[in-house]
Amino acid sequence: MNGVIPLWKPKGMTSHDCVIKIRKLLSTKKVGHSGTLDPNVTGVLPICVGEATKIVQYVTNFGKCYQAEITIGISTTTEDSDGDIVQTKPVKQPITRDEILKALKQLTGEITQIPPMYSAVKVNGKRLYEYAREGIEIERPERTVTIYALELLDDNEIFNGEFIRFSVHVKCSKGTYIRTLAVMIGELLGYPAHMSKLVRTSAGGIEQEQCLTFEQIEEKITKGLTNEIFLPIESVLFQLPKYEIHDTLANRVKNGALIPIPDHLLYTLGPIAVYYKGKILAIYKHHPTKQGILKPDRVFVGN
């Protein structure tokens, strides 16, 4: 069993809960997830099994897409609907569509975020949420992330009400906090804000329509169709530069040998997927000291 299960994570489970359940269903320990989702968030959660556990770091680095509901006028301790209310400021004047679009445009591209206190980011060897639970607020390191697209999904021209809600589509880089993005949108509009709902619609190149629920996975396993729950490693790593090799070089790659960089990949910077007869044999990266040479980062013996 080697491959990626395109799981549609249900609400109420942690990402680790999902891994434990898949381990039990498949009777295997070699299972991992790529890209944590909070318990109250549903959506695409790639589950890597067998040899595919070696690609977790690459899948995690790929961009993600979300559909988020933002509530203007209320802020919370966690920046989402799970936290305690910190501040309320009723919206006295209607907010126009143009005002919201202007705020979204300002936050599109490369932006700087400060991770929320209730997050898994480590500072001095301790996760921020551990400090938060102790009532300690510490200085958090800024991080630069990229918002590739930030689109308003509601058709309203005018947004009325004491507290205003609207939905956005977000396409972003690894490390982006949508909760924090919601707060930043509120700040630009002049109000406290939080993320009231979130669905991840794409992760690691896997789209919502490709996903399976736990019920569907269990049904396929019961019917002896376990192979149908997996996406091949190749279909998930299609975003990586591709290097197709021949027989002689394939044996060297299987043994983790250094190999020369082909001309068409000389100026790539990231990892390179090495293929043999349509299957990924390994992922290589540029050698840190030997120019023009690739060194293995992961070799897929069982693929």
Q: Which active-site residues does the annotation give?
A: 38
Q: Whose structure tokens read 């983790």?
A: 256
**Is 46 in contact with 35 (CB distance < 8 Å)?**
yes
**Is 155 in contact with 166 (CB distance < 8 Å)?**
no
> How far is it, in rounded angstroms, from Cα 299 to Cα 226?
24
Smallest Cα–Cα separation from 237: which of 183, 297, 166, 288?
Answer: 297
Would you call 228 helix, strand, or coil by DSSP?
helix
> How far is it, in rounded angstroms, from Cα 51 to Cα 299?
9
- Residue 177 CB partners (closer than 8 Å, separation 6+): 79, 113, 115, 116, 119
> How far is it, in rounded angstroms, from Cα 296 to Cα 245?
14
> How far is it, in rounded angstroms, from Cα 44 to Cα 10?
9
> How far is it, in rounded angstroms, from Cα 187 to Cα 194?
10
Q: How far is CA 69 from CA 73, 98, 179, in A?
A: 13, 18, 10
